[in-house]
Structure 1
Amino acid sequence: MRYAVDLGGTHVRVAAAQSGCEWRHQHRSRRVAGMTPADFVALLSDLIREWGTGRPQSIGVSVAAVVDDEGYLLASENLGWKDVPLRRILADAFSCPVLVETDVFCGAAYETRLGAAAGATSALYLGIGTGIGHALILDGRVWRGARRGANAFGHTIVDPSGARCYCGHQGCLCTEASGLAQADKSASDVPLQRLALSIGNAVTLVEPECVILSGGALNQAWFDLDRLAALIPAFTYPAASQPRLVRSYAADPNLCGALLLSMEQS
């Protein structure tokens, strides 16, 4: 059995499948505050024992963090983890091939292969949950940046005099339009306008064929896909082609992408 994990800012999702994303077992729980890598290993161990699947054939981990080529977690503000050799820790614990990758890169890989970006040469994938991450798909491949840090769409500045962000800057998009920012607020047009501003700037810079949105915050009262599509052109260079704006077809593209990437590696 192959395992996939989405270790997010608020929740942990674990699923097991023989292949593809046809899950035989699934688990979702709120991530306990202060969870350590050892706690994470214990959670996986408990699920493997509970599900009776035996030693995993592979484990793919999608994590809200900057991750290097060796599966070394460099930094994650939401998890509070830094400089963690997560791939090695899991490989030692479960004696199987392990892939650890930034969550939105996993989601973008899935969308490129089997989702809304299949057949497109360019796309922007946005994961809007506790925070806001992104991945660019250029010439059909996921662009990870010069040092794998091209994933922080939520930390584009939309209001220099705005609220202080957990990254240390002021007025980041995720202080307005993320699931965390809007968790206890009534519907307002402001977060949608801020999101449209950032997407409009991205369209001006890259002109992607499509923009794919995913994440739990899309179910909150403030989000409206049609309204967002109507707002974006006002923030885009007029000569740029407007992208197709869609919600991901998958319930959890990051989880599916983690599975697919781990299968390719192993």
Structure 2
Amino acid sequence: MTTLLPVPAGGALRAPGVRESNAAAVLAAARLAGPLSRASIAARTELSMPTVSRQVAALVEAGLLHELPELATAGSIGRPRVPVDVNDRVIAACGVHVGVSTTTYGLADLRGRLLDSERVATPAGPPGEAFAQLAGRIRAFLRRWSDRRVVGIGLATGGRVDAVNGLLDHDRLGWRRVPARELLASATGLPVHLDGHVPAMATAELLFGPWNQPRSLLYFYARQVVGIALAMDGRLHRGPGPDGSVAHLPVGGDEPCPCGRTGCLEVTVAEETVVRKAFQAGVIPEPRISMLQAAADAGEPEAVRLLDERANTLGRAVAMLRDIVNPDLIVLGGQAVTDSPSRFGELLRGFAGRTALPGTDLVTVTRFGQDVQAIAACTGVLRQLYDYPFGTLAS
């Protein structure tokens, strides 16, 4: 079994050669601006025409690019003027996002478009049994897409991820030093890319988001857990410790945290917290977030208050982080944001009331909506494919 070998700087394959780097540059040009002629790719990448022609030929043969002769300029002569573009009809990446209560499977094409997805309860029990169930689900899920060449599985989850060694610790699931990459790879026969879920979501924004290549981007995620990722010049910053936890950012309030303090961000805004409060107050008959949102939409005052309070708290937390990092763009993701679009105004009010810097127009919401977990997990493989196309396909 050959698996993708990540490095601390972001889960990429080791030591790309000149050919791999040139292929990645050609593929990136087509992804960002295709369809493009070979001449246009040469101008964008500053590679020679012979180099571009060789790389295009290899990428077409590999199924990553395809020619579009029908788009050639009228009267043009020779293949250098025939446009090429990303071939999104052959290759796909599978993704698995393991959440505290829900696991999401996804399949995405080379443009990061979700072809299929499925949500199930996260398997309980010892890690070996849980990963055996995950693998069985993956095999059944991929049988629906036998016409696609699936080049790998992206596994994204919370907790502490050791991407170099493929190990996972997840306190909420009771997992300690689980060889997640090895377990999933051996059970499915596919290469596995392991990453934290928030870095994976930020990578999806960088690779497939509609943003005009901001110099710096802060990604903020909130649902049952909260986390952030910071990108500079199109690449995630990776520190030596756990990726992006801001669980204990002090936001005020009296909600007790397992750390022994009160008013930590994660326990204050977690979905299970606001649902519990609504259920205990008799606002909803069952502790379900969908019921709380429906009650708020119907104008139930306590439901509105609870969701507005959470949104305002999220906005204040984002403001504190913004004032430290001062990014060009802030992207918000996670169902605490995307499932409550009517609360976005309250979030912005909390943000504006706390930030010491001018302007709120740099705050936006992910375009992936409820699909963010599935897309993010798939993106781990797609990022490697775009960075190391031949190495990834050979794995």
Name which of 126, 129, 134 aligns with 1:38: 129
Compute the displacement of 1:176 (Å): 1.6
Name which of 222, 234, 239 aligns with 1:140: 234
Name which of 255, 262, 267 aligns with 1:163: 255
2:261 counterpart of 1:261: no
Q: Distance in 2 between matches of 1:109 and 1:219?
A: 18
Matches within 5 A, 1:229-248: 229-238=348-357, 242=360, 244-248=362-366
Name which of 112, 120, 141 aligns with 1:21: 112
Judge conservation of contact 1:203–1:242 (CA < 8 Å) in 2. Answer: no
Greater shift, 115-124 or 207-216, is seen at 115-124
The verdict on how the C-alpha distance between 1:100 and 1:168 changes in structure 2, with shifts beyond 3 A counting, is: farther
Q: Distance in 1 between matches of 2:356 and 2:151?
A: 48
Matches within 5 A, 1:30-179: 30-34=121-125, 36-49=127-140, 51-52=142-143, 53=145, 56-70=150-164, 72-147=166-241, 149-159=242-252, 162-167=254-259, 169-179=261-271
The verdict on how the C-alpha distance between 1:257 and 1:50 changes in structure 2, with shifts beyond 3 A counting, is: closer
The verdict on how the C-alpha distance between 1:140 and 1:219 changes in structure 2, with shifts beyond 3 A counting, is: closer
2:360 counterpart of 1:249: no
Q: Distance in 2 between matches of 1:120 and 1:37?
A: 41
The verdict on how the C-alpha distance between 1:134 and 1:223 changes in structure 2, with shifts beyond 3 A counting, is: farther
Q: Distance in 1 between matches of 2:342 and 2:214?
A: 25
**Kindly, what percent of the aligned residue pairs are identical?**
23
**Which structure has greater helix proportion?**
2
Compute the displacement of 1:81 (Å): 1.4
Judge conservation of contact 1:120–1:140 (CA < 8 Å) in 2. Answer: yes
Superimposed CA distance per residue, residues 110-156 of structure 1 (whole angstroms, 9 cap, x where no aligned partner): 10121154511112212211111211122322123232x24112321
2:309 counterpart of 1:203: no
Map of 2:50 onto structure 1: none
The verdict on how the C-alpha distance between 1:16 and 1:233 changes in structure 2, with shifts beyond 3 A counting, is: closer
The verdict on how the C-alpha distance between 1:235 and 1:177 changes in structure 2, with shifts beyond 3 A counting, is: same
The verdict on how the C-alpha distance between 1:187 and 1:261 changes in structure 2, with shifts beyond 3 A counting, is: same
- Pairwise CA RMSD: 2.7
Superimposed CA distance per residue, residues 13-36 of structure 1 (whole angstroms, 9 cap, x where no aligned partner): 012345343444321012244463
SS, match of residue 173 in structure 2 = coil
Judge conservation of contact 1:200–1:236 (CA < 8 Å) in 2. Answer: yes
One-letter identity of the residue aligned with 1:217? A
Compute the displacement of 1:165 (Å): 2.1
TM, length-normalised to structure 2: 0.60
What stretches of structure 1 of length at least 5 have no aligned partner?
A: none
2:278 counterpart of 1:187: no
One-letter identity of the residue aligned with 2:263? G
Judge conservation of contact 2:107–2:117 (CA < 8 Å) in 1. Answer: yes
TM, length-normalised to structure 1: 0.85
| Corresponding residue pairs, total | 263
Judge conservation of contact 1:126–1:133 (CA < 8 Å) in 2. Answer: yes
Greater shift, 248-257 or 80-89, is seen at 248-257
- Where does structure 1 differ by over 6 angstroms across 4 or more consecutive aligned residues? none
Compute the displacement of 1:86 (Å): 0.8
One-letter identity of the residue aligned with 1:45? G
Q: Distance in 1 between matches of 2:254 and 2:342?
A: 20
